[in-house]
Amino acid sequence: MVINNNGYLVIDNSAFLVIDNSNANALAVAGTGGKIISEAENDRIKWNISTTTGAYSIPWSTSVATGAVKIPLSVTVTGAGVGAGNVIFSTYETSADNNTPWQSGITNMCSAITNADGSLFVADRFWQINANGYGTKPSVNMTIAYNPAANELVGTNTIVETNLQAQRFNAGYAATGPCYVGAGSWESLLFGTNNAASDNVTNIIVPAADFFKDWILVDNLSPLPIELVSFEANCKNGEVEIKWVTQSEINNDYFTVEKSYDAATFFEITKVQGAGNSSVTNYYSVIDPNPSTGVAYYRLKQVDFDGTTTYHNIASTNCNPNSFDVNQLVLNNNALSFNVSTTADEELIIYFYDYRGRLVANKKEMIVKGNNSIKLSNLNISTGIYMLSIIGEYNNYSTKLMNTKD
């Protein structure tokens, strides 16, 4: 079948377009191209690919109501599956920024950073790429295109387009946390390289074991590309020991341990070789022989073999006995309140930034030994992630906060 000169085909009413030819050229476009509109999970293409390899292309587009913008999907089968299987394709824009309705089988949109619903980090579209009937599924390399001008990336979403990568849902993965309902998790694995100039995510290398059916595009500041069990920094014999544990790794080339004195500007202190592809627990440890006189912040940068870089949670330590603790943080009603417990008098400068690093408010505060209540009022903020940074004479502190109400 060839679709040319911007002709388009609409699949509707839970219909199947069945392609019974396993060759990659059984569906093609010509001239100025063609479009296929699905826009529902059950409006599908069933391609009986079987054990054939090659570059398969689905000329998806958005709905006619949103301009029928071309968002083609490319799936190159690099390793043949075992068995007379097929691949089912569909895609649709969700009706709301919280990505509802979910595809069948998805039980949550939990974020690894906030331990809460992370749907505002996700483009408002699902892709079904479902390999069926195989004893061993094929391995593939995919490119997923998106429409940056549509409501899929904007609205109330918190997305930086250049951060978009692909992620898939593992219905059999057991996860725990306050926002997990039922079985399944996005499993903290990211795939592909963002190509914002062409509005797609490319080089989505998916081995057979990771070929699950439900796919999204997500801002990579929210999830984690490796499954990081823990990351911590502790004072030990006049030095700082930085330790982390991974439960699984995919295409992980190396880690870089970075240090900061203000939780904003980081510099590299060492590199550590990653495990590549691993499904076993790996333990890592490095020493910083030059601890700070106050709070020092450490973060982990992970680099894939294709150069994709992802940053992980920040750990802090203070080897100075004159320290403080920040607790009881409450962000609502356009105000932030928190408590500082300290062992010494100290002048603090408090900064409050939005997700893009823009200063929302700042304040000088003189605290005294003991407990100190601090409040920032009239913030005039919207839903999203914010950063609190406290710079003191002896101590520094930084954390991310989620505002869930306008």
Residue 182: exposure state from Cβ atoms within 10 A (0-12, 13-18, ≥19): exposed
What pLDDT, on the 0 to 100 scale, is given for residue 210? 85
CA separation for the pair 2, 243 (Å, rounded): 56
For CATH 2.60.40.2550, the residue range(s) in the chain are 324-403
- The candidate with the shortest Cα–Cα distance to 124, out of 63, 181, 81, is 63
- The candidate with the shortest Cα–Cα distance to 158, out of 91, 97, 199, 96, is 97
CA separation for the pair 100, 40 (Å, rounded): 12
Sheet containing 335-342, strands listed edge to edge, beginning at the edge strand earlier in sequence: 324-332, 335-342, 370-376
- The candidate with the shortest Cα–Cα distance to 58, out of 67, 70, 50, is 70
What pLDDT, on the 0 to 100 scale, is given for residue 198? 93
- Does the pTM of the predicted model rise above 0.75? no
Contacts of 184 (CB under 8 A, 6+ apart): 105, 106, 107, 108, 169, 170, 171, 172, 173, 175
pLDDT in tens, the chain (406 residues): 999 999 989 999 999 999 999 999 999 999 999 999 999 999 999 999 999 999 999 999 999 988 899 999 999 999 999 999 999 999 999 988 888 899 998 888 877 555 567 888 899 999 999 999 999 999 999 999 999 877 788 888 888 898 899 999 888 766 655 666 667 777 666 788 999 999 999 999 888 888 999 999 998 775 544 567 778 888 888 789 999 988 777 778 899 999 987 766 789 999 999 988 776 788 999 999 887 766 788 888 888 887 877 777 678 787 766 667 788 888 888 899 998 888 788 899 999 988 777 889 999 999 988 889 999 999 988 888 888 888 887 777 878 888 876 5
Cα angle for residues 98, 100, 106 (degrees, 5° grid): 105
CA separation for the pair 222, 23 (Å, rounded): 38
Whether the ω angle into residue 289 lies within 30 degrees of 0, i.e. cis, is: no
Place of tokens 């105000």: 335
Helix, strand, coil tally for the chain in percent (to 5): 5, 55, 40
What number does CATH give the domain 324-403? Answer: 2.60.40.2550
CB 86 within 8 A of CB 34: no
Contacts of 126 (CB under 8 A, 6+ apart): 41, 91, 92, 94, 99, 102, 103, 106, 214, 215, 216
CA separation for the pair 245, 396 (Å, rounded): 26
CA separation for the pair 6, 12 (Å, rounded): 19
What pLDDT, on the 0 to 100 scale, is given for residue 180? 64
For CATH 2.60.40.10, the residue range(s) in the chain are 227-318
Pick the CATH number of 227-318 from 3.40.50.720, 3.30.420.280, 2.60.40.10, 3.30.70.20: 2.60.40.10
Cα angle for residues 193, 196, 202 (degrees, 5° grid): 30
Cα angle for residues 245, 249, 252 (degrees, 5° grid): 105
Other Cβ atoms closer than 10 A to 41: 18
